Chains A and B, each alone.
Chain A
Amino acid sequence: MFLLRLALRNLTRHKRRTLITGLIIAIAIFIYILTEGLMLGITELSFRNIINLESGHLQVMEQAYWEEREKMELDNLLSPEAELVDEIKNLPGFANMTKQLKFAANLNNGIDELPVSGIGIDLESFTNVFSLEKHLVSGKMPAPGKFQAVLGTKLAELMDLAVGDYIVLLVRTEEETFNTIDAEITGLYNSPHPTLNESTVYVPIEIAQNSLNVGNKFSHYVIRLTDRSYTAAARSALQAEITSNHAVYSWRDLSESVMTMAQTQSVETQVILAIILVIAAVGIVNTIILSALERMEELGMMKAMGMKKWEIIVSFMVEAAGIGIIGGIIGIAAGIIGIGIFNLSGGISLAAMGAEDLNYGLPIKGSIYAGWSNRSAIFVFVYGLVVSVLASYLPARWAARKDPVKSIYHR
């Protein structure tokens, strides 16, 4: 208790110095919270866009299809199964479901040809699962069974197409024979998912199935749950029910690239934090050495009166911990205020940064808001504290080892 009181007294002796050293830690924590918040914001936005526009919460497909899904081949398709549909509908948190048929196509406007992803959609259930319709900037969704299509504004711009124009999608049937889908563009969308805007064409599923000669087969079911938190439970419940060849995948499996990117970025943020905290550690070493030099006589006297070496070390370390706590509190408070101001002022607009049209491979567009995670805040606070305490150990030991007599007469 005495040591604690001593350390606290020492902290308040040089308020300005304590504050400045604490501020270095605070700045490190503030930067970390802001960077991490931005990363969280980007990841959260990416996940939302993936769920709302690309993957839904869960997908059911043939296992073999999943492995080769990038190729969008017409092998390993699903056939409608009433039993499976019933099982899906009884899942915890089930909201809606739809089916899709993905295929590779070449989009042709009579002058140029561009490889695109085609998706056959069941128009009756599609809008219950995906929010694409909300992002239509002109026209409307195709009508079921009609040779109609919607595509992204970016793709339309590139191919010089508008609502009412006709496109030719050159596709290969199951037997690798060329076929064409001649469709009228009924709508253009500008979604917050750049990849969709650049390279995806939606047509009614009946048209796709017919043109690809696959009968009533499709590539996968997409399931929407009432809330994201049901994903794991629903997935394991369904996995337990379905047959051997089928498999259930969650939006997390489908957003591998985002997950990898988020992980890489989190490593980057940690590196930044580590660098700033090393600088803070130097500040702490400096502060402890300075206070030790100032208190040489005191230290000498206390040792002469019987204070042990470890007690001196602990008193300095507690002092450093105090600096760490002050820095941590200021840093986190500043972080909360910073994120608040950032989000209230409308986040960062990618357009303002001149990055509206750039595709980073992340499904984001529009404005990025910063996120907050209690776990990261606790982590960075503890990290700052540990760095402060560790940084104080060596100078504290140096001070504690001084000879009491020499210390008293050190001048």
Chain B
Amino acid sequence: MKKLSIYLILFVLLVGISSQVMAITADEIINRRDKNEFVVSAYSEAKMIITNSGRKLVKEMRSWQEEGMALAEFTNPRDRGTKFLKRDDNLWMFFPEAEDVVKISGHMLEQGMMGSDFSYEDMLESDDLTDLYQFKLLGEEEVKGRTAYKLEGIKVPGKDVAYYRRIIWVDKDRFIGLKEELYAESGRLLKVAETLEVKEIEGRWYPVRSIMNNKLKKNTSTEFVLQKINFNPDLPEDIFSLERLR
């Protein structure tokens, strides 16, 4: 009996190792990308360049994040003091002028954050994409001079997700998302996100410049530029509390 179980364990291990050597699955690619882009805790400074029909708006912010929590504070003169607090699936906003905290929920989640092409909902999106989508590896393609896996994810029936279908290109070596197309159930392309620049920071590859295009609107895009990021910084205590938001 004991022998049998040892054989069994050995067998399972072997199968596991050989399949990894042989071919990587779609879910593994997504998980590796998410693991790579997932930040346990960080302090960052970034700017958002919102282009809408030729008009350009630049918004600057700094943010702190730790696992499911994040706090972002806008620093450009026009929005100075506006803060967002994300705690798992909840999002609050603080308006300095009204000195009021508002919970963003319902239809408000569909709106673009601070007028950008990133919706509040996009910000709240859960990281476990493989639970929500059935991923399929479509092949390999060249994206911006880099070889990338091309994957298609279709919503798992019964799951509440915003986008029915996603096409994702993941850098084959660095496991960084290079491009992502988000589709409606009707097949219409709604949004395209592209990574414009990747940098090696503290020993890991991290996207530092990306752009989101809302395909339902002409001539609008939002560029997100990460100017500084420190991984695992010392975060002030209770920084993610509602009290600190005010």
Contacts and interface: CB of A to CB of B under 8 A. Distances in A.
B238 interface: no
B164 interface: yes
Contact of A182 (B161, B162, B188): B188
A108 interface: yes
Interface residues of B, number: 21
A168 B162 contact: no
A106 B219 CA distance: 18
A71 B108 CA distance: 12
A178 B53 contact: no
A177 B188 contact: no
Given A110-B218, A168-B188, A177 B110 contact: no
A177 B217 contact: no
B185 A173 contact: yes
A168 B186 CA distance: 11
B110 A106 contact: yes
Given A110-B217, A111-B217, A113-B216, A178 B107 contact: no
Q: Is the interface of A mostly helix, strand, loop or mixed?
A: strand
Interface in A111-145: 111-113, 115
B184 A178 contact: yes
Interface string B24-56: 000000000000000000000000000001000
B216 A176 contact: no
A110 B184 contact: no
Contact of B185 (A106, A108, A115, A178): A178
Contacts of B107: 104, 115
A96 interface: no
A112 B217 contact: yes
A211 interface: yes
Nearest to B160: A176
A182 B110 contact: no
Interface in B169-201: 184-186, 188, 190
Contacts of B163: 177-178
Interface centre among B107, B160, B184 (most CB of A within 10 A): B184
A176 B162 CA distance: 6
A179 interface: yes
Contacts of A170: 184, 190, 216
B106 interface: yes
Interface of A: 71, 104, 106, 108, 110-113, 115, 168, 170, 172-173, 175-182, 211, 213
26 contacts: A104-B107, A110-B216, A110-B217, A111-B53, A112-B217, A113-B217, A168-B188, A170-B184, A170-B190, A172-B162, A175-B158, A175-B159, A177-B155, A177-B164, A177-B185, A178-B184, A178-B185, A178-B190, A180-B188, A180-B216, A181-B186, A182-B186, A182-B188, A211-B185, A211-B186, A213-B185
Interface of B: 53, 106-107, 110, 155, 158-164, 184-186, 188, 190, 216-219
